[in-house]
Amino acid sequence: MRGERPRVRRIWQEDGRTLGIGWTTGTVCLYDVVAMRRACPCAHCVSETSGERTLDPASIPESVRPTRIASVGRYALTIAFSDGHDTGIYTFSGLHDDPEAWGGRPVTPSTDG
What confidence tens digit (pLDDT) does each residue in 63-95 have? 999 999 999 998 999 999 999 999 999 999 999
Rounded Cα distance, 76 and 89, in Å: 6
Which of helix, strand or coil describes residue 93? helix
Residue 110 lies in a domain: no
**pTM for the full model?**
0.87
Residue 87 lies in a domain: yes
Amino acid 5: pLDDT? 80
Q: Structural domain of residue 59, as residue ranges?
A: 31-103
CATH code of the domain in which 95 resides: 3.30.2020.30
Amino acid 55: pLDDT? 96
pLDDT at 1 over 60: no
pLDDT tens-digit series, residues 43-67: 999 999 999 999 999 999 999 999 9
Domain total for the chain?
1
Identify the residue with better confidence: 3 or 66.
Answer: 66
Q: Rounded to whole angstroms, what are the CA distances from 37 to 2, 33, 99?
A: 30, 6, 14
Rounded Cα distance, 109 and 52, in Å: 35
Amino acid at 75: Y
Amino acid at 74: R
| 29 CB-near residues (< 8 Å, 6+ apart) | 20, 21, 23, 95, 96, 99, 104, 105, 106, 107
